[in-house]
Amino acid sequence: MRPRKLPGTAILAGIAAASVLALLAAVLLGVARGGGNGAAGRPVKLIGGVPVGVQDTPAGALAASDNYVALASQSIEQNPAAFAALVAQAYAPDARGRTLAEAQRIRAGDTQNMTNYREGGRGIAVIAARRLDSYTPQQATITSWLGGFVWGPHLPPRQTWNLIDTTLRWQQGRWLVLSSDTDTTPAPVPSIVYVDGDNDQAAAFARLTGMSAPFYGTGG
């Protein structure tokens, strides 16, 4: 499917529209606080089950972007409640309303993928690589190479790859998403996939039952 953008924050709609979604792990942890400008401790803390970037350093900005990019693509269709929690915790206040409204329009228009998820389909998104393009103590820009894999009872396993351009702003003691857009440059896509065995990938993907995508930089 053709990548789509969410106005203002354009969160990985290209991946979401291509069915790269996964169940988020249900993690309930208390709010952890960092000291000073967030330069000490782990770069990401789980707040209400949402990984939030709380370290105002280049490494902290990368860890924040890794989580925000992957989780937005995984939850925008598969788990709207988790997506809303991510937006509330990790998006700039002036972007939240229109981001949620556009996410709802994407779900309403994507009947094939929504049907797959209702039937028990699953997906996982991963950050294969990323680059810190710019950094100041107030703002950072990152390019991410995002891979997504989706399958379901009536959907053969498939993959998609995108380059994502993300801008973060340091505010309220955390990194907040200002924008996250699918890059107009074509992403690198593997043209050949080597598979051992009988290549029955529908059955092979069943071995991922019980697995979920990890959070980045939390130490857990």
User: What 3-state DSSP class applies to 195?
Assistant: coil
> What pLDDT, on the 0 to 100 scale, is given for residue 39?
53
d(CA 63, CA 195): 31
| pTM for this entry | 0.80
For the CA atoms of the chain, what is the radius of gyration?
Answer: 17
User: How confident is the model over 93-138, as pLDDT tens digits?
Assistant: 999 998 999 999 999 999 988 999 999 999 899 999 999 999 999 9
Handedness of CA 112, 117, 120, 126 (dihedral sign): positive
User: How confident is the model over 144-156, as pLDDT tens digits?
Assistant: 999 999 999 999 8
Q: Which residue has the tokens 């370290």?
A: 55
> What pLDDT, on the 0 to 100 scale, is given for residue 74?
93
> What pLDDT, on the 0 to 100 scale, is given for residue 37?
56
Name the fold adopted by 13-208.
Nuclear Transport Factor 2; Chain: A, (3.10.450)
d(CA 18, CA 150): 9
Helix (H) or strand (E) holding 140: strand 139-152
Per domain, the residue ranges of the chain are 13-208
User: How confident is the model over 172-189, as pLDDT tens digits?
Assistant: 999 999 999 999 988 999
Which DSSP string corresponds to 4-69? ---TTT--SHHHHHTT---PPP----PPP---TTTTSS-SEEEETTEEEE---SHHHHHHHHHHHH
